Amino acid sequence: MTKKSLIAAGLLFFLIFSQPAVAAQKPDSLSVKIGQMLMIGFRGTALENAPEIAADIAERRIGGVVLFDYDVPAHSPSRNIISPQQLASLTLELQKLSDIPLLIAIDQEGGKVNRLKQIRGFPASVSAEYLGRLNHPDSTTAAAAQTARTLKAMHISMNLAPVADLNTNPDNPVIGKLARSFSSNPSVVISNLQLIIKAYHNEGIIATLKHFPGHGSSTTDTHRDFTDITVSWSEQELEPYRALIDSGFHDAVMTAHVFNGKLDTLYPATLSKQTLTGLLREKLRFKGVIVSDDMQMKAITDRYGLETALQLAIEAGVDLLLFGNNTCYDPAIASKATEIIRSLLQKGIITPERIDQSYQRIMDLKKRYRSGAR
């Protein structure tokens, strides 16, 4: 991308996010509030071949979408991303469908977890592990600034990064072996996170710390298996979250589907009120949006039905429920989730006040980034 195209794209991004969210405040209906709690993945590289997500945005008022370059269930390299020009056009089309600014999210960590690949015309990226080994402020800032500028040019408002996990188990199949952690040293992780978040904020990109309360010590992958970190986890893994929250971070934190008997003897973190409300909200005093990891990952779906998982996640404190639709594919997942949440409300299992809490946090996040305030 040329400097001129980046500037032009950035102006378009600003125009979108500077529009007043009139419909967001009026009507302030239950359907809007439920919809805003959903972030959905979809198939399609243009709006014309993605009718399901268009309906989810326009009719079900979902709060966000998540983009992928590779379609895992279909074993296809064609999902949402072909080129910078195509992606910028797609995200603009999606954004125009929504009365409320849409959270358009992506996992652009760098290195192996990299949806915007060089082969498709995007800038090359480096892994967190590479930056942690250098541990040089200029290198980390430059890498993060490049990512943030690219996301802004693509009208992507939210990065599901950076990773706050400590590299306590280098053989971890989903963290250590993929070079996703900056270091096993909390101070190295913290300093790199601070630089990255600052670079993101300079370009108006929402940052997401993950995977709470720590995934670095696991020996299995929550995409595929039940993952128990009771023995391997230590409180040291909370240090990056504590430091960032204490310094004022209140964008988003993503949960892990790990089971940690030290924190909750019944449920994995995403479904654990003791972990999310008791620890993250009350003890660490996090005031931002709690985002679930993908609710279709096997660590959840192999043990819980959709209704139970939604009920437990909302009761635990999750604000934004992520369905990546890239472990399995269900074009009706937003409709199903909406109806289940409505049913839980009608039965009095979930209260309207609990939905209001999540809705307000999500809207506060969107307003802050639309206005430029942090």
Per-residue pLDDT of the chain (374 residues; tens, 9 = 90+): 544 444 444 444 444 444 444 344 454 589 999 999 999 999 999 999 999 999 999 999 999 999 999 999 999 999 999 999 999 999 999 999 999 999 999 999 999 999 999 999 999 999 999 999 999 999 999 999 999 999 999 999 999 999 999 999 999 999 999 999 999 999 999 999 999 999 999 999 999 999 999 999 988 756 766 789 999 999 999 999 999 999 999 999 999 999 999 999 999 999 999 999 999 999 999 999 999 999 999 889 889 999 999 999 999 999 999 999 999 999 999 999 999 999 999 999 999 999 999 999 999 999 998 755 55
Interhelix angle for 239-246 vs 186-202, to 10°? 40
Eight-class DSSP state of 294:
P
User: Global pTM?
Assistant: 0.91
Q: Is 80 helix (H, G, I), strand (E, B) or coil?
A: coil
**How far is CA 234 from its chain centroid?**
24
**How far is CA 47 from its chain centroid?**
22
pLDDT, residue 221, reads: 59
**Cα distances (angstroms) measured from residue 143 to each of 225, 253, 269:** 33, 21, 31
Contacts of 158 (CB under 8 A, 6+ apart): 64, 103, 104, 105, 106, 205, 206, 208, 252
Burial class (CB in 10 A: 0-12, 13-18, 19+), 302: exposed
Radius of gyration of the chain from its Cα atoms, rounded to whole angstroms: 19
Give the pair of three-digit tokens for residue 270. 């995403």
Q: Are 237 and 229 in contact (CB under 8 A)?
A: no
The candidate with the shortest Cα–Cα distance to 40, out of 107, 116, 105, 109, is 105
Written as one letter, the residue type at 55 is: A
Q: Please determine, looking at this structure, whether the domain spanning 37-371 carries the CATH number 3.30.499.10.
A: no
Query: Which residues are identified as catalytic?
Result: 223, 293
Three-class DSSP labels, 13-56: HHHHHCCCCHHHHCCCCHHHHHHHCEEEECCCCCHHHCHHHHHH
Domain ranges in the chain are 37-371
**Residue corresponding to tokens 């299995």:** 220
pLDDT, residue 283, reads: 98
User: Helices marked H in 218-331 — which ranges?
Assistant: 239-246, 273, 298-301, 306-316
**Strand pairing of 113-114 and 64-67?**
unpaired
